[in-house]
Amino acid sequence: MAEIKIDRERCKGCELCVHFCPKGCIEMENGYNRKGYQPSTFVKRDKCTGCAICALVCPDVAIEVWR
């Protein structure tokens, strides 16, 4: 069981978490946040291992991880 939380308003949509997630758990959202970026969103909860690579590579420190 693992869980990540992406702060939608801090995310700038750089896609690094989407690119580096080894399980493909993160995708880009269709909507926009207040800053006008398309944030990433956590989609495959069952596949997440809580490895925290997404948090490691996130430039905007927008991701928190539980495991």
Among positions 8, 12, 27, 33, the unique one binding another protein when judged by CB under 8 A: 12
x/- track of binding to another protein for residues 24-63 (CB under 8 A): -------------x------------x-xx-xxx-xxx-x
Query: Between 30 and 63, whose beta carbon lies closer to another protein?
Result: 63
Q: In the block, which residue shows the tokens 């269709």?
A: 30
> Which residues touch 56 (CB under 8 Å, ≥6 apart)?
none
Supply 8's token pair: 């939608």
CA gap 55, 30 in Å, rounded:
21
Chain positions contacting another protein, by CB under 8 A: 1-3, 9-10, 12-16, 19-20, 37, 50, 52-53, 55-57, 59-61, 63-67
